[in-house]
Amino acid sequence: MMMRLTRLTTALLAGALFAFPALAVDLRIGLQDDADVLDPAQSRTFVGRIVYTALCDKLVDVSPDLKIVPQLATEWKWSADGKELTMKIRQGVKFHDDTPLDAAAVVATIERNMTLPESRRKSELTSVAKVEATGPLEVKFTLKAPDVTLLAQLSDRAGMIVSPVAAKALGANFGSKPVCAGPFKFVERVQQDRIVLEKFKDYWDKDKIFVDKVTYLPIPDTTVRLANLQSGDLDFIERLAPTDVAAVKGNSGLKYDATVNIGYMALYANIGNGTRADNPFGKDKRLRQAFSLAIDRNAMNQIVYEGTAVGGNQPFPPNSPWFNKALPVPARDVAKAKALIKAAGFDRVPVELQIPNNPVAQQMMQILQAMVAEAGFDVSLKSTEFATLLDEQTRGNYQLSRSDWSGRVDPDGNIHQFITCKGGINDTKYCNAEVDKLLNEARASTDDAVRKQKYDAASVILNEDMPIIYLGHQSWIWAYKKNVTGFVPSPDGMIRLQGVKKG
Amino acid sequence: MPVYIGKRLLVAIPTLLIISIFVFSLQKLLPGDPILAMAGEERDPAVIEFLRDKYRLNDPVVVQYFYWLGGVLTGDFGISLRTNQPVLELILQKLPVTIQLAVMAMFFAMLIGIPIGILAAVRKNTFIDYLANVLALTGLSIPNFWLGIMLILLISVQLGWLPASGYESIFVDPVRSLQTMVMPAFVLGNALAATLMRHTRSAMIGVLSADYIRTARAKGLSPREIILSHGFRNALLPVVTLSALLFGELLAGAVLTEQIFTIPGFGKLIVDAVFNRDYAVVQGVVLCTAVGFILMNLFADILYVLLNPRLRAAL
């Protein structure tokens, strides 16, 4: 009996030893939502972009300090007039279907992004007049007008190069089996359940990839996402709830990282979008200034976000190089707010505030409601689910609306389309020729010092007119197992797997 | 019997039509624009116009409905606005998940509800009956999401016995499939068990006071035989009806439970679809659920006949 047991144990041990080197490193990542269609030309969700960081390489990438760095393009050059961008494409890169990635593939992808009827990338590439291959591994973008933000666009979905063969075969249905040139290739997807990718053995930068398989699991409930991490079913989760940071700190098997994101939280005032703009709050900037002054931004972020968010008064967070330091985040000043309301000829001002119906936004806006009440604003909160809120905001059926922006790497992406008279998502319908001029000039210059000057000047006017009342900036918070190493947090919220190890 | 079933199925057709018209118009009454929700943060006007056209959202609602109906009759349930996947494919992907969860939940509900119901009836107005009542009330009153999270924290996080959430197909890995489904099925079954227990109890009490039970006792049969063979079989009728109806409800998906345990079934699908105004998906799932419900009803009626010979004459 004993003998047999020993033999069995030996056999098992031997089996385990042989099996061990073959054990694949499988990284399981919990996402807050399910991604939408996995076609870089069509997709629009934040979590989709997280999946792309593993699946689809881009012409250029963004470093943690938000600088544009090479990825599929090794170097690039602007022409003197800022209307031509020439890029050298990396040699020897292959798509997941083993076809080569060359200048022709880059041109095909950019043209697909610009012409596919379903493409959501058109507005990101509007400045591009023509893209052509000027060599086997060189492409030239010719622009209608100087647009320095193009590089930032190419660091995201608009710059993800897809296999022309697959794109041609699948057309608008490319997302059912995406073929890119990222470190991992597509294996399978079950809607609302999982997206599975496996290591691409011919990846151009494969020495930096230490994971064999990555599985993304959408788990919307933050408590359950954390529970999965604690129980060991997941290795990594994104968007940990600020209230759960303490639980992760207290767990010796877990780690967390946080960094202030590039987006913002704000209130949009209806300045000129339809008849509902005809009210004192939309017409008299003094009331909006008073509203802003009545808010204690730090207290709000401390209470709602456990101190992980920062207060803000501009489209860029205070730690951003684009933040105008001459306009610091204002401290709460109820007396001054009252004086402004009085100067506008009011005693108390009724305001209807439209908010999304999630608990965090509701809690935050209830605090805000109490704060501004002390200055003289009678805020009624109108809670709706997101699709309705978006619709009402676009159509102008609101007075004040709570909205967030996920943020863009280039400062232009956080301000131009919201504030300029013809901006695609200018829901407040604020329109100021001087601001338009400044923001258009900032877009055209390749000199950061000049751009900064323009944004600073614009922010002074916006701080006065206040069509958008900025509240602050949340942090991305990631939590993961102690045995996961090499993760570098980035303000864009992405999970880059280069250098990430598990074991 | 086949004629009876055929008739019942024919009657189901107008019912399904009415349901589909009702759901279609209700959806159109909802505020919010599906295209806006799917156009992305930038909301390019040209894309919005193209998509509106592609999905025929510029047509009058009646025309849209007939396009949809025409598609369904030829096996085309439309395309999900959110993911570009055919709705039929989505439904076929989720249906096995939902059925598995429903079957397992029903198993728990019956396992808990029926024996306790019988026990409570037999020991009517004793401590056991009161205890069973308290249990049933507790089961009914505890919210699913709370029980779910507590179970995850206790069983998965503290004890590490079961995976916290997720799903695995029973055809791929049966063991893991059962492991992931046990907790959600228990949570769902627990609430249903309470209803089932109350109905079993009252049906049993009614039957146990009948004359033939007294006769059976007088004949000297054992209490076990009296309760199970004579009593329970007759008390089964209302219990069967109720179980079939409860099962039909389960087929509609269990929104909260699925959300908490991240089970990709109908509940999660339809909630996401409603939030994104993904009309075709909502229509498809509702239609599928309605068919399931009608079939379960029919099934209950057939079982009824099989259990009660007297009804056979009526067919």
> For residue A21, what pLDDT band results from cuts at 50, 70 and 90?
very low
Q: Retrieve residue B45's tokens.
A: 């006007």
The neighbouring-strand residues paired with A403 are A266
B24 min Cα distance to partner chain A (Å)? 18
Per-residue tokens: B33? 């624009």
- On the question of pLDDT at B1 being above 80, the answer is no
**Which segments of A319-387 are extended strands (E)?**
349-356, 377-384
Closest residue to A193, CB basis, from B43, B149, B167: B167
Rounded (5°) CA angle A478-A480-A481: 170
Which pLDDT score, from 0 to 100, does residue B229 have?
78
pLDDT at residue B262, as a whole number:
86
Q: Indicate the DSSP class of residue A124.
A: G
Q: What local confidence, expressed as pLDDT, does residue B315 receive?
A: 58
pLDDT at res. B244? 86
Q: A472 with A488: CB under 8 angstroms?
A: no
Q: What is the pLDDT of residues A306-334, one digit of tens each?
A: 889 999 999 999 989 999 999 999 999 99
Instruction: Out of A181-185, B99-103, B238-242, pick the least confident.
Output: B238-242
Enter the tokens of residue A358.
């999630």
pLDDT tens-digit series, residues B173-196: 889 899 999 999 999 998 889 889
Question: Which pLDDT score, from 0 to 100, does residue B275 have?
Answer: 80
The pLDDT of B42-56, averaged and rounded, is 79
Instruction: Indicate the average pLDDT of chain A.
Output: 91
| pLDDT score at B42 | 66
Q: What pLDDT was estimated at residue A18? A: 46
DSSP H stretches of helix in B142-229:
144-151, 174-208, 211-218, 223-225
Model pLDDT for residues A423-453, shown as the tens digit of each residue: 888 999 999 999 999 999 998 888 889 999 9
The CA–CA distances, whole Å, from A64 to A344, A488, B277 equal 45, 8, 36
Share of chain A above pLDDT 90, in %: 75
Q: A236-237 and A213-218 as β-strands: parallel, antiparallel, unpaired? A: unpaired
| Residues A166, A106 contacting (CB under 8 angstroms) | no
CB–CB contact A44 B85 (8 Å): no
Does position B79 have pLDDT exceeding 80, yes or no? yes
User: In angstroms, what separates the C-alpha of B23 from chain A's closest C-alpha?
Assistant: 18
pLDDT for B88-136, tens place per residue? 988 998 889 999 999 999 999 999 999 999 889 888 888 988 998 888 8
Task: Supply the DSSP symbol for B79.
Answer: B
**Radius of gyration for chain A, computed over Cα atoms and rounded to the nearest angstrom:** 25
pLDDT at A471 over 90: yes
**Is the CB of A219 less than 8 angstroms away from the CB of B165?**
yes
Tell me if B281 sits within 8 A of B87, measured CB to CB: yes
Q: Which residues of A touch B52 (CB under 8 A)?
A: none
DSSP state of A296: -
- Partner residue opposite B41 with nearest CB, options A190, A228, A406: A406
pLDDT given for residue B48 in this prediction: 82
Q: Which of A122, A228, A391 sits opposite B31 (nearest CB)?
A: A391
**Chain A contact present for B189, CB below 8 A:** no
DSSP conformation class of A208: G
Could you tell me if the ipTM is greater than 0.95? no
* Percent of chain B clearing pLDDT 70 (strictly above): 97
Q: Does the distance separating the beta carbons of B34 and A192 come in below 8 Å? A: no
CA distance A265 to chain B (A): 14
Report the gap between the CA of A292 and the closest CA in chain B (Å). 25
| Residue B137 scores a pLDDT above 90 | no
Q: Residue A222 contacts by C-beta under 8 Å, 6 or more apart in sequence?
A: A32, A239, A240, A241, A244
- Per-residue pLDDT, averaged over B134-154, amounts to 87
In angstroms, the CA B28 to CA B26 distance is 5
Close Cβ partners of A127 (under 8 Å, ≥ 6 residues apart): A143, A144, A145, A147, A149, A150
Residue in B83, B153, B277 closest to A37 by CB: B83
Neighbours of A329 (CB within 10 A): 17
Q: pLDDT of A394-423, one tens digit each?
A: 889 999 999 889 888 899 999 998 999 988
Q: What per-residue confidence (pLDDT) applies to A135?
A: 95
- Provide the token pair at A495: 């999970």
A149-158, A448-457, B247-256: which has the minimum mean pLDDT?
A: B247-256
What are the start-end ranges of the E strands in A90-155? 128-135, 138-143
Task: Give the burial class of A126: count Cβ atoms within 10 A of its Cβ; 0-12 exposed, 13-18 middle, 19 or more buried.
Answer: middle
Say whether A390 and B163 touch across the interface (CB within 8 A): no
**Do residues A261 and A494 lie in contact, with contact meaning Cβ atoms separated by under 8 Å?**
no
pLDDT at A19: 44
Task: Give CA–CA dist A178/A169, Å, rounded.
Answer: 11
Residue A214 forms beta bridges with which residues? A27, A197
- Cβ atoms of B180 and B165 closer than 8 Å: yes
Which residues of chain B from 6 to 25 reach within 8 Å of chain A, CB to CB? none
The confidence score (pLDDT) of residue A15 equals: 47
- In which band, very low, low, confident or very high, does the pLDDT at B313 lie, cut at 50, 70 and 90? low
**Cβ neighbours for A376, distance < 8 A, ≥ 6 positions apart:** A290, A337, A338, A341, A346, A347, A348, A349
Please name the residues between 284 and 303 in chain B that touch chain A, using a CB distance below 8 Å.
none
Task: Nearest by CB to B43, from A36, A385, A424: name it.
Answer: A424
